[in-house]
Amino acid sequence: MSFKVTVSNSDTSFSVETDESILAAAKRQNISLPYGCDNGVCGACIYRIIEGEVRYPDGQPFALLDEDIEAGKGLCCVGYPVSDMVIELEYPDEDFEPWV
């Protein structure tokens, strides 16, 4: 089973399998999304949820504060959709250097 994720501020849509994060699915399909650490620590991949729901199998990520969750935000690198989603990237034009 897969879910469709649409990035509203870049007119991009892609499918995400139930066992992969939004970022992993984007990378697999050669879709560029901003990210830094790839493990929920830096917050570079933060987005606003316009529609849909996301889960975090390893618990609330370090970079996602309670206020962020209340404001409907999520992280692409560790977030797994549980429905089709529409998201808006916080930093759509940034070119973050991935952490090594």
What CATH number is associated with residue 31?
3.10.20.30
What is residue 22's three-state secondary structure?
helix
Residue 65, domain member (yes or no): yes
Q: pLDDT at position 100, please?
A: 38
Residue 97 in any domain: the answer is: no
Q: Is residue 96 part of a domain?
A: no
Q: Which of 75, 67, 82, 81 is nearest to 96 (CA)?
A: 75
Of all helices (H) and strands (E), which one includes residue 10?
none
DSSP tag of 36: S
**pLDDT score at 99:** 46
* pLDDT for the residue numbered 11: 82
Number of domains in the chain: 1
Find the domain containing 74 and state its range: 2-89
Structure tokens given for 34:
């901003």
Tens of pLDDT along the chain (100 residues)?
A: 999 999 998 889 999 999 999 999 999 999 999 999 999 999 999 999 999 999 999 999 999 999 999 999 999 999 999 999 999 998 766 554 554 3
Give the strand pairing for 73-75 and 12-17: unpaired
Per-residue confidence (pLDDT) for residue 95, from 0 to 100: 57
Helix (H, G, I), strand (E, B) or coil at 6: strand
